[in-house]
């Protein structure tokens, strides 16, 4: 720390100076290394823009002369102005809207980093001058770095992971969200066509066009029923099995736990494909067994009967129960193992029955501990693509739906809209709605759990 005397300066002056030329305020505050540090970022910004552009020609057109940042922002706003065309020699030069959109998002994220450094540069110049006016002291560069490391250590360590997350996770999410506001479909496919911004038109189509609104209402209703029932049945059956296995009357507990855990240990996709073969309506062994035993007069189309879609839905729930209950059984077993035996002994002294012990001791403790995981399971079932896709592929068909079947949930519908029908804009609309629904329901439920309130 340096103690100096001299004429005081209004803090806003170095702040404005750093706003014009990065590091100039630090230079006025006599912090030369910090001044060079911040100025280098502005220099990098200018060099990158000039080096990637074409600014030394007689005329200037953003599309032709803009650099990394300028042309990136232009591409994000316009999505291109000249489409490519097919010719005898191949595709002509032109704009690719999706590439411009991706590049624009990258530019905005990089620009956001520079904006953060720019704001830090101005704030540092202002605060340093203000501190000097009040205390007549100024931190040396080394002391400033040491203080910054101590006070911001956790954030500094998180910066590499945050940057990686920004470009590997956040960027695709932003791209998907922005696609919902375009007309990006198979009939308007780059590079021979340009994609345009259409605002909230796709969202309005989902409400105003009957076939879209009816499909969304039907698929969403089944998705909600599926998520609730699938989560509740797996939790309830897993809890029952855990209570039974936790009973002192059960012998060979490890053996039974090992048997019950097998459905969870086997890869889910393998189990689903096996069940799909078993319940095949044409040659599946289940239908053949029922036919041989005289229980049915013809083969049962478990997954493909358009006149009985509820059969496919019930079968899905039963198979999901078989695959999902071991997780909750293992979870509940672990929780119940940690419950003090003194509670049960005290309850017995008070004359409580086994049912009373379960209702007053076991169940409240289990729910308190498992509530966040139950909510996570609900969110997982809401987007349980594998079970629906590998068993029924969304079938049986529903003539009243747009590109969806009777057992399709929102995520499988999005898959069909994207890969099968290339309606990328409507698929993005669905993705945004799924995010809002799952996020809202999960936050609302988590805030109501006792464990969340205690934290």
Residue range 143-158: average pLDDT?
88
The average pLDDT across 322-330 equals 91
Q: Which residues of 413-446 are buried (b: 16+ CB within 10 A; e: fewer)?
A: bbbbbbeeeebbbbbbbbbbbbeebbeebbeebb
pLDDT band at 121 (very low <50, low <70, confident <90, very high): very high
Q: What gap in Å lies between CA 34 and CA 32, rounded to an integer? A: 5
Burial class (CB in 10 A: 0-12, 13-18, 19+), 25: buried
Q: What pLDDT score was predicted for residue 453?
A: 57
Give the pTM. Answer: 0.84
Rounded CA-CA distance 98/93 in Å is 15
Residue 172 pLDDT more than 70? yes
CA angle 260–264–266, rounded 5-degree value: 110
The mean pLDDT of 256-284, rounded to a whole number, is 88
For residues 23-50, average pLDDT = 94
Any residues with CB less than 8 A from the CB of 117 and at least 6 apart, and which?
Answer: 38, 41
Determine contact, residues 423/184, Cβ cutoff 8 Å.
Answer: no
pLDDT in tens, 409-427: 999 999 999 988 999 999 9
Q: What is the overall mean pLDDT for the chain?
A: 89
* Percentage, residues of the chain above pLDDT 90: 56
Task: Tell me what pLDDT residue 3 has.
Answer: 44
Confidence (pLDDT) at 262 = 84
User: H or E segment at 91?
Assistant: strand 90-91
Rounded Cα–Cα distance for residues 128 and 25 (Å): 9
CA 374 to chain centre: 18
pLDDT at 289: 92
Long-range CB contacts for residues 171-177, cutoff 8 Å, separation at least 24:
171/105, 171/106, 171/109, 174/105, 175/101, 175/102, 175/105, 176/428, 176/431, 176/432, 177/428, 177/431, 177/432
Kindly state the average pLDDT of the residues 149-165: 90
User: What is the mean predicted confidence (pLDDT) over 68-95?
Assistant: 87
- Residue 80 DSSP label: -
Q: Is 60 exceeded by the pLDDT of residue 454?
A: no
List helix spans (H) across 89-209.
97-135, 141-151, 153-165, 171-179, 201-208
CA–CA dist 345, 348 (Å, integer): 5
Find the mean pLDDT for residues 424-436. Answer: 92
Give residue for tokens 């960027």. Answer: 171
């Amino acid at each position: 720390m340096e103690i100096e005397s001299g004429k005081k300066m209004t803090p806003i002056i170095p702040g404005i100076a750093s706003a014009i030329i990065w590091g100039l305020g630090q230079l006025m505050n006599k912090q030369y290394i910090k001044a060079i540090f911040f100025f280098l970022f502005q220099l990098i910004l200018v060099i990158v823009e000039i080096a990637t552009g074409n600014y030394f020609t007689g005329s200037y057109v953003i599309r032709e002369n803009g650099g990394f940042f300028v042309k990136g922002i232009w591409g994000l706003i316009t999505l291109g102005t000249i489409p490519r065309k097919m010719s005898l020699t191949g595709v002509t030069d032109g704009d690719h809207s999706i590439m411009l959109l991706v590049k624009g998002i990258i530019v905005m994220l990089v620009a956001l980093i520079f904006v953060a450094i720019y704001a830090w540069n101005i704030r540092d110049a202002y605060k340093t001058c203000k501190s000097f006016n009040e205390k007549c002291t100024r931190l040396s560069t080394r002391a400033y770095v040491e203080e910054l490391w101590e006070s911001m250590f956790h954030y500094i360590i998180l910066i590499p992971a945050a940057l990686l997350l920004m470009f590997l996770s956040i960027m695709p999410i932003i791209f998907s969200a922005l696609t919902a506001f375009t007309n990006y479909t198979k009939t308007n496919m780059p590079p021979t066509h340009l994609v345009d911004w259409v605002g909230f038109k796709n969202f309005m189509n989902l409400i105003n066009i009957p076939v879209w609104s009816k499909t969304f209402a039907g698929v969403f209703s089944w998705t909600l029923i599926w998520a609730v029932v699938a989560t509740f049945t797996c939790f309830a059956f897993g809890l029952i099995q855990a209570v039974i296995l936790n009973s002192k009357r059960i012998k060979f507990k490890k053996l039974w736990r090992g048997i019950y855990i097998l459905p969870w240990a086997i890869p889910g996709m393998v189990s689903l494909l096996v069940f799909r073969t078993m319940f095949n309506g044409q040659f599946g062994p289940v239908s053949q067994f029922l036919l041989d035993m005289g229980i049915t007069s013809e083969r049962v189309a478990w997954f493909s009967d358009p006149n009985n879609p509820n059969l496919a839905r019930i079968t899905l729930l039963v198979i999901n129960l078989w695959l999902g209950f071991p997780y909750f059984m293992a979870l509940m077993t672990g929780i119940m193992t940690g419950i003090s035996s003194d509670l049960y002994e005290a309850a017995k002294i008070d004359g409580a029955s086994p049912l009373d012990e379960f209702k007053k001791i076991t169940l409240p403790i289990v729910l308190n501990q498992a509530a966040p995981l139950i909510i996570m399971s609900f969110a997982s079932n809401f987007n349980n693509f594998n079970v629906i896709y590998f068993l029924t592929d969304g079938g049986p068909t529903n003539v009243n739906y747009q590109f969806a079947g009777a057992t399709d949930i929102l995520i499988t519908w999005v898959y069909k809209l994207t890969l099968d029908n290339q309606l990328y804009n409507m698929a993005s609309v669905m993705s945004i709605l799924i995010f809002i629904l799952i996020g809202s329901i999960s936050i609302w439920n988590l805030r109501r759990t006792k464990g969340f309130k205690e934290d």
